[in-house]
Amino acid sequence: MEPNRRRAGPEAILGGRLLAFAGDGDIVGLSQYVTALVYGAAPGDASYDDVLEWVVTTIADVITDKIGPIVDSEVDGVTGFAVTLRTPDGIQLAIDDLPAPERHVWKAIAEVLDGDLPRAHGTLAPVEHGSEPGEQAHALIEAVSWLDRLLDLPALNGPYTVPE
C-alpha cells in the first residue's frame, strides 16, 4: 500500500524552483524566471498570482513552524503572532512604513498568520493586478528571498513567551 501523498500544485513546483535559485545564490536565474512568470512566458501552468500567494502562505507556514505562537500570560495564553521587521542595522520598521509592493506582501503574510486567507488574497491584489511588471518581479523576488532566509533560521525551543 502506498502512503497517502498529495501532489504538489504547479504554483508549489514553480515556487520551489524559484526558491532553489535563491538558495543557490543564482540571482540571474531567479530574475529571468520571475520575469518570464510576470509576462506569462514561464513554463508550466502556474500564474504569477498563484506563485506569489504560495510564497506568502509558505512564509507564514515557516514562521509558524519555526517560531510558534506568542504566549502572553496576561491574555490567557496563546495570542497569535507579532511581525516585527528590522533593517540590517537593527532599526524596527512598521509594515505600514514599507514601500509598496513590500507593504502589501507583508500585510498579506500577517493576515495569513491571523488565519484570514481571503483578506490576504485581497491584500495582494494591488501587487498582482495594479503594479507595473518591474514592481511585480521585485515583489516576488523579495518574497522568495525572505522565504530562503527564513528557512535558514533555527527554530525556537518552545513557544515564545512575552517578557513581563
Domain membership flag for residue 82: yes
pTM to 2 decimal places: 0.84
Domain membership flag for residue 23: yes
Domain membership flag for residue 76: yes
Task: Give me the helix-helix angle, 133-152 and 102-113, nearest 10°.
Answer: 50
Q: What is the pLDDT of residues 45-56, one digit of tens each?
A: 789 999 999 999
> Does residue 65 surpass a pLDDT of 90?
no
Domain membership flag for residue 109: yes
Domain membership flag for residue 150: yes
- Number of structural domains the chain divides into: 1
Q: What is the pLDDT of residues 116-134, one digit of tens each?
A: 999 999 999 999 998 899 9
pLDDT band at 17 (very low <50, low <70, confident <90, very high): very high
- Which domain range does residue 47 map to? 10-161
Domain membership flag for residue 3: no
Domain membership flag for residue 1: no
Cα gap 47→44, rounded to integer Å: 9
Domain membership flag for residue 4: no
> Does residue 109 surpass a pLDDT of 60?
yes
pLDDT of residue 64: 86
